[in-house]
Structure 1
Amino acid sequence: MLHEYLDLQDRFFEDRNGRHELVREYKRRGWLPKPEYDKLAAEFDALIVVVDFYAAELTRAANDLCEAVRETVHRSFRRVDGHLLVTSGPYGFFEYRTNLYVYTDGRREYAGRDELLRKLGPEMSQRLAMAD
């Protein structure tokens, strides 16, 4: 899963002002005809779904790893810090959300690219070159 996310970073992120940011291709190109702008904006929105998916899955796995360390190595590992959280946004009028991701119901497996591709749909998966 991590290698999938790193591939995504290599392809769609850039370093700007000391931050690693998702490229807004629809803004970078300047003025565009509406159909082209809409297509690139839709691709950016889909990339946000992809990044959110990987943030949730990687955080879920990291929290599971922390729990395993507490159970087997050191019971107070990250007890003060608690779980790892993900803050995302902005949504709407500068609203940010902080989420806790953990495995539930004993499930400890990565949902996989198939789940991600299902969320994106075949056309967007193809446009982002994520389909097999």
Structure 2
Amino acid sequence: MYWDISDLRRQTRHSDIAFWLHLLAAPLLVHPVFNIMLADTSLLNIILILTLYVLIASFSLAIDRRALMVSALIYVLIAVSTLLDKTTVVDLSFALTALITGSALLLLSAFWHQSRRFVIGLLPQAVCRYFPPITE
């Protein structure tokens, strides 16, 4: 995050370094947490996993980097599939999981800037100064 903060407009080499650091650090941060959480596939734990992913997605929107979301994606697929297995009688839970998650990600990518503007708008101004400015 230090490298990201040092070039909020993403115009210098610091931004390039920050990109690769995010790409390296994201799986190292995400995988241990989700692995521990998926050890128990109770309904409450699945909901906690999905909630954590929403928080990660919000943070990813705020910092305008997608590495954390992508690193946690397989765990969301497993969690949604498990949730559908536990709550429905449909045999096509993985197909429905792919449809639901794929649709959500497609919408998020199509409306990334609007979603980012919304998330940044929820944060206090003192925190927003550490995030890249919103571009049109």
Q: Provide the TM-score with structure 2 as the length reference.
A: 0.30
Q: Which has the higher helix share?
A: 2
Q: Which has the larger radius of gyration?
A: 1
Q: Which has the higher strand share?
A: 1
Q: Provide the TM-score with structure 1 as the length reference.
A: 0.31
